[in-house]
Structure 1
Amino acid sequence: MARSHRLLWAGLLVAAAGIIAVRWLFGRALASATERAAQGSAVVTTRCGPIEVQQAGDGLPLLMVHGSGGGHDQGMDWARPLTREGIRVIAMSRFGYLRTPRPADASPEAQADAHACLLDALGIARAAVMGVSAGAASALQMALRHPDRVDALALVVPIAWKPGSVADSAPQVSDEKDEWLLRLLGSDFLYWAGLQVARDQVFRHVLATPAELIHEASAQEQARVNAMAEHVLPVSRRALGLRDDTRLGKHLRPAALESIRAPTLIISARDDGFGTYAGAEYTASHIPGARFIGYETGGHLLVGRDEAVRDAIARWVRAATPR
């Protein structure tokens, strides 16, 4: 009996030590992520409300509209290399992300108006606009609602409307999966734990990218996509925006694509788990003069395509933007 008690106490001590270690590791990761997410940005007062923004570089202005799980930090992580191409990157946090509050009307149309308000506050008359993933919805609306402000439009793996008859290889996301994703994306600890014990599943189901592509990629690409996944923390400070983005695809409506006059570049990958390829191809085919770049592989994170995509966007912005 004494031996069994000792074993029980030893087991409890090991479990307690494990819990303490996990809490310490999580606390350290969350504190680091929170500090990183606050770096380099400022909250700008606009007539549409406060908007968080980070800027870098000099030259042709590019409004960078981030995707799901992002903020000014995700946008700048992606676009900072463009500053070497004579481009001024203006990376903002969309409604409900980090320090940009979510208003009662958080529709893509209202967000597009807020993009214009931000340019006003920064004293920028016109800019190229780039929307990634869920950020493409408001970028597209800006080209429709404020055509005089948009010199060039780039949509990358865009969440975009398409007719039901357009073939789409990606499965529809069920309401049950939506709820599961929302629980995961509403908790800093659950998301962090998922990265520790099931990172491949996070890539596949949350970031819509085949994990095998990442394992086969270069060390530089693996570092990029792993950093992108980790930089979703602190997810709790992005939760309001994430909830809107998670349901965005089910509430998109047809847009007057034929009326867009901004030179437009659209990029996607056929194996994107969010099924953006068909919508991207459809959108490009209905915007006059739009160029579509479609990759067979890359997933939603465009693994292995990063440098080519940035080069294409830099050339597009330089060619389309008056100097």
Structure 2
Amino acid sequence: VSLPRCPEFEAWRIATADELHVTHLRILRVLVDRLADEPARALPFAHVLHGLEPRDEALRADIRRLSEAARQSAMVQSRASTTDPEAAPTGETVTPQVWPAAEIQLRPAPERVLAQEIRRCTTPDGARLAYSLSGQGPPLVRAAHWMSHLELEWDSPVWKHWIEGLSAHYQLIRYDQRGNGLSDRYPADLSFEAMVADLESIIDAAGLRRVSLLGISQGCAVSIAYAVRHPERVAGMVLYGGFTKGWRKRGNEREIARREAMGALIQEGWGQDDPVFRQMFTSLFIPQATPEQRNWYNELQRNTVSPEIAHRIFEEGAVIDVDELLPRVRVPTLVMHATGDAVIPFDHGQAMAGKIPGARFVALDSVNHVLLGHEPAFATFVDETRRFLADPEQTQQLAGPPASLGINRSRQYITVLAAEVVSPLHLLETEDPEEAIREFQPVEDRVIQVVESHGGVVTSAADGTITAAFGLARATEDHAYLACRAALAAKLAVEELSQGGIQLRAGIDTGEVIVRQQWTTEASKVELAGAAPRAANRLMRALHRATIAATERDFRPTARKCVRRGQGADAPNALSGASAHSLRRLRAPGLS
């Protein structure tokens, strides 16, 4: 349940979700540890845990160890099943008994039945969307593309192998684009912005904190836009058969004329009983299809979307343009494209990969826009996807200067969080420096991870002090609230990681700053000039113990309703002319 117009309930809901997430992590860790002697049983829990905590290097090592142990165990069991060691004394040869074929029927091994669960959600503008979940493993969300129907695709000769191949290794989340399939058939808004908002709604409705994205065709542009807006929520992105500029934006007069003729055919022949008009699209999308596949795809077009909506979506796709977003993609990306694709030419995929920092490009030997199950290109697609998503950051070594946030020398109103790890500082004075760093570094890394997962941009991190800006990479009205949430979550994470031995103090202030972004050969650096960074750091240093405190300027009407606050020793009047308030926790609705 989500109530966007009730800040009190939303704050309580998010806080409760955070607590449940921590509990979920603890349970998974206990299961992995207790099942260490049964690697085949422990491995699925380890993979789920890795999907929630992808940066945990120790967990990656555990998964490799469990995988190897599970393979060794399977080999031992396989060898043991061929002979019975108790059937003959030591040194005697065991001859397996041969049964006549007519006298025995071998029972086939039970097959795992794949099922999908169809759910529905409502977008902020009131559109009803249908989405489905199938398989187990790390979440993989397929961004919607033109023409989909969750129920018809499930057993179709065109899409079934996609669903089965991906659901075998991931929790696959699919959804019907507005205007298609089981979603609202006649929505008012079919713009590209609505498409991106729908992906946001699906991921939120499914309760997913961090996902991998799969973009196919038009879904590539939607995935790119989402990844730029929410980099902290995307573990990796696979793009197949996509484009960054729609056919009108590309400006090729011959292509525009050809596409306009296709649009006229959509309006005139899409809904007719005679499939001759729809056959033209089928021949473009899957030229190597069997008669069964061609007939099914012909009918999918008519049963999925009306002629009017099909034409509107076709025209909306013509004006898509995410080309300027490509240098700002900051998540590991794999791009694949069929060499003979007649719908989206091969060079579009190459150009897309070339503009995304560090993206890897794989050419697939196929002429089909939708890869078919019998062709080797589909097996290559699945193998490359699995290999990439197993560890996106390791597979993709980012090359060249990092993407610009698009904020250089801009004046922005943001919230600054200054945090310091308090307890380990004595280690630097009393213990060996290397030992102190070994204990200290994981704590600092965890704080940075939590801050970035809440949308913060870390501007500095050294000697246990971390400064981050909220509302910087993406404009948002609730940046003060996000900073408060991040500080409280970081404090909890630090205490959990150290079992209470290490604590965190933090100061928060909001104000207008000048932003500068500088580049080196290996990294970029964001610098903030203004009163807010200084005030946040002064407040943090003035705190006498592990406390989260914010200045009065942070408590706009929304923030006042979302957090408890107090005054006194925990939050001293550290700033001239401004009072400060300590943050305890997010407040549940109904509390005054």
**Normalization by structure 1: what TM-score?**
0.70
**1:227 Cα deviation after fit:** 4.4
Compared CA separation, residues 248 and 179, structure 1 to 2 (3 A): same
**1:152 Cα deviation after fit:** 1.2
Gaps of 5+ in 2: 1-115, 395-592
Q: Is 1:99 the counterpart of 2:177 in the alignment?
A: no
Structure 1: distance between partners of 2:242 and 2:333: 13
2:329 counterpart (230, 239, 260): 260
Bigger RCO of structures 1 and 2 (CA < 8 A, at least 6 apart): 1
Structure 2: distance between partners of 1:117 and 1:103: 15
Aligned partner letter, 1:250: A
The equivalent residue for 1:130 is 214
Q: Is 1:310 the counterpart of 2:382 in the alignment?
A: yes
**1:100 Cα deviation after fit:** 2.0
Q: SS at the partner of 1:98? A: coil
Over the matched positions of the two proteins, sequence identity in percent amounts to 21
Compared CA separation, residues 309 and 240, structure 1 to 2 (3 A): farther
Compared CA separation, residues 181 and 163, structure 1 to 2 (3 A): closer
Compared CA separation, residues 190 and 229, structure 1 to 2 (3 A): closer
Count of aligned pairs: 265
**1:51 Cα deviation after fit:** 1.5
**1:136 Cα deviation after fit:** 2.0
The equivalent residue for 2:489 is none
Q: Is 1:44 the counterpart of 2:44 in the alignment?
A: no
Q: Is 1:246 the counterpart of 2:325 in the alignment?
A: no
1:1-323, aligned counterparts within 5 Å? 41-47=118-124, 49=126, 50-73=128-151, 74=153, 77=160, 78-85=162-169, 87-101=170-184, 103-161=187-245, 171-172=255-256, 173-185=258-270, 187=271, 189-191=273-275, 199=279, 201-205=280-284, 207=285, 209=286, 211=287, 213-214=288-289, 227-235=296-304, 237=305, 239=307, 242-253=310-321, 254-303=323-372, 304=375, 305-320=377-392
Q: SS at the partner of 2:263? A: helix
Compared CA separation, residues 109 and 247, structure 1 to 2 (3 A): same
**1:123 Cα deviation after fit:** 1.2
Aligned partner letter, 1:274: V
Aligned partner letter, 2:260: D
The equivalent residue for 1:9 is none
**1:90 Cα deviation after fit:** 0.6
Q: SS at the partner of 2:214? A: strand
**Normalization by structure 2: what TM-score?**
0.40
Compared CA separation, residues 264 and 134, structure 1 to 2 (3 A): same
Compared CA separation, residues 203 and 256, structure 1 to 2 (3 A): same
Does structure 1 retain, via aligned residues, the 8 Å contact 2:215–2:238? yes
Compared CA separation, residues 283 and 121, structure 1 to 2 (3 A): same
Deviations 1:174-231 (A, max 9, x none): 312221133333x16244x667xxx5x44324x2x4x3x346xxxxxx7666645544
Structure 2: distance between partners of 1:40 and 1:233: 24
Does structure 1 retain, via aligned residues, the 8 Å contact 2:141–2:211? yes
Aligned partner letter, 1:92: Y
The equivalent residue for 2:34 is none
The equivalent residue for 1:11 is none
Does structure 2 retain, via aligned residues, the 8 Å contact 1:188–1:234? no
Structure 2: distance between partners of 1:71 and 1:157: 20
Q: SS at the partner of 2:188? A: coil
Compared CA separation, residues 174 and 88, structure 1 to 2 (3 A): closer
**1:290 Cα deviation after fit:** 0.7
Does structure 1 retain, via aligned residues, the 8 Å contact 2:211–2:235? yes
Compared CA separation, residues 273 and 58, structure 1 to 2 (3 A): same
Compared CA separation, residues 118 and 174, structure 1 to 2 (3 A): closer
Does structure 1 retain, via aligned residues, the 8 Å contact 2:242–2:337? yes
Structure 2: distance between partners of 1:318 and 1:239: 41
Deviations 1:292-311 (A, max 9, x none): 11235323123422222122
Structure 1: distance between partners of 2:188 and 2:238: 28
**1:72 Cα deviation after fit:** 3.0
Structure 2: distance between partners of 1:71 and 1:204: 20
Does structure 1 retain, via aligned residues, the 8 Å contact 2:138–2:211? yes
- Is the radius of gyration larger for structure 1 or structure 2? 2
Does structure 1 retain, via aligned residues, the 8 Å contact 2:192–2:316? no
The equivalent residue for 2:97 is none
The equivalent residue for 2:17 is none
Structure 1: distance between partners of 2:230 and 2:274: 40
**1:155 Cα deviation after fit:** 1.4
Structure 2: distance between partners of 1:317 and 1:299: 24
**1:266 Cα deviation after fit:** 1.4
Aligned partner letter, 2:122: T
Structure 1: distance between partners of 2:294 and 2:381: 15
**1:128 Cα deviation after fit:** 0.8
Aligned partner letter, 1:204: S
Structure 2: distance between partners of 1:301 and 1:269: 9
**1:133 Cα deviation after fit:** 1.3
Gaps of 5+ in 1: 1-38, 216-221
**1:94 Cα deviation after fit:** 1.0
Structure 1: distance between partners of 2:351 and 2:221: 14
Aligned partner letter, 1:177: M
Deviations 1:217-246 (A, max 9, x none): xxxxx76666455444414x4556532442
Q: SS at the partner of 2:318? A: coil
Does structure 2 retain, via aligned residues, the 8 Å contact 1:131–1:138? yes
